[in-house]
A = this chain, B = another copy of it.
Amino acid sequence: MPESVHRISVAVVDPAGQLIARSGDPGLHTFWRSAAKPFQALPVVADGAADRFGLTDAEVALACASHSSEPGHVSLAEEMLRKVGQTEADLACGPHVPLSPVMAATVMREGIHMSPAWSNCSGKHAAMLAISLHRGWPAHGYERLEHPLQQRILSEVSRWTGEPVESIGLGVDGCTAVSFALPLVGMARAYARFGRSDEPAMVRIRNAMMAHPWLVAGTGRSCTDLMAAAPGRLAVKLGADGIYSAVLIRSGIGVALKVEDGDMRASPATLVAILRDLAQRFEPDLVDALAAPEVARHARLAIYSTRGQVTGYLQVVGALQYETPVGVRTVMAEAR
């Protein structure tokens, strides 16, 4: 018997940015949250700050991450700060309960004091400091809308999504940086372009994420497990409140989804189901990778009683509605 329902809106676009499949409202205007991170990280590479401070590909991946605050994540964020010549006191983000349940329990059990580098966004913030220093902008206030960095990022968000700057909503994310609201189809379009771009900075960011899936999220997290299961074939990034964006690299198909109610179990489960459907149609050699147990466990989550018995489960229902209805066409060969 069904108990609760999470409604989900989805936009799927082809490499040209045309909507090819949908569910719910693909024009839903909502916050992109952390799925915007590759575009928030772009200026640090494009404008030369990454080279100037000698940031590695691993550090570029961490700049795009919502990491789990595992020791390797926190220490790499600290290393980025050292390279940039800044300290944690310069980070605008604050710590929070780690996204890794294991780390959350460790922190509580051991009474660990969490510094700002423990924020899942600490890589993004360290990168924001790097570009601000590189460009000669004030380091203080880099997270605020009026700072030139956020204006620079806003113009990138507009360029990649195809949404005019004036139609992009501006809020404050949990990490205090600017968050961008726009239609799902714009997010999908940006990821389609991200997956096929030959701009050197974007190529570096894409490859860094795919080469370091653990740094983009963490142990057992869906972004990590998906990119690790299909190396070089998928770039995916979740965001808070039920956001996910992804691109299938070879076909250049971009996906964006939002769980209407913001649930964070429903979004990975749905993304896996959508990627499987798209793989079957457009990249059949990806099907096996998406059936792997590390991926499958995000697709159907069991619900347990306090005695460990399975009392229910999360199940993805429904299907994408493709823009091309079923039909048959005859095709005539070109004369030339």
Interface residues of A (CB under 8 A from B): 1-7, 29-31, 92-96, 105, 108-109, 111, 119, 169, 171-176, 181, 241-242, 259-263, 305-309, 311-312
Contact of A94 among B3, B108, B305 (CB under 8 A): B305
Shortest Cβ-Cβ A-B pairs, 7 listed: A108-B108, A94-B306, A4-B262, A261-B261, A94-B307, A172-B311, A96-B306
B108 and A305 form a contact (CB under 8 A): no
A92 and B3 form a contact (CB under 8 A): no
B174 and A305 form a contact (CB under 8 A): yes
Q: Which residues of B contact A96 (CB under 8 A)?
A: 306
In the docked arrangement, what's the CA distance between A173 and B3, Å? 12
A314 to chain B, nearest CB (A): 11
B175 and A306 form a contact (CB under 8 A): yes
Q: Which residues of B contact A1 (CB under 8 A)?
A: 29, 31, 169, 171, 181
Contact of A261 among B5, B29, B105 (CB under 8 A): B5
Contact of A92 among B111, B181, B307 (CB under 8 A): B307
A172 and B262 form a contact (CB under 8 A): no
Q: Which residues of B contact A169 (CB under 8 A)?
A: 1
Q: Choose among A31, A95, A305 the residue with the greatest number of B CB atoms under 10 Å from its CB.
A: A305
Q: Which residue of B lies closest to A94 (CB)?
A: B306
Q: A105-B108, A263-B261 are in contact. Are A173 and B5 (CB under 8 A)?
A: no
In the docked arrangement, what's the CA distance between A263 and B3, Å? 12
In the docked arrangement, what's the CA distance between A306 and B98, Å? 12
B3 and A31 form a contact (CB under 8 A): yes
Q: Which residues of B contact A92 (CB under 8 A)?
A: 307
Contact of A4 among B3, B174, B261 (CB under 8 A): B261
Known contacts A3-B31, A4-B261, A172-B311; 7 further A-B pairs (Cβ under 8 A): A3-B171, A3-B181, A4-B242, A4-B259, A4-B262, A93-B306, A96-B306
Q: Which residues of B contact A241 (CB under 8 A)?
A: 3-4
A174 and B5 form a contact (CB under 8 A): no
Q: Which residue of B lies closest to A31 (CB)?
A: B3
A183 to chain B, nearest CB (A): 13
Q: Which residue of B lies closest to A181 (CB)?
A: B1
Q: Which residue of B lies closest to A258 (CB)?
A: B4
Q: Choose among A93, A111, A119, A176 the residue with the greatest number of B CB atoms under 10 Å from its CB.
A: A176
Q: Which residues of B contact A5 (CB under 8 A)?
A: 260-261
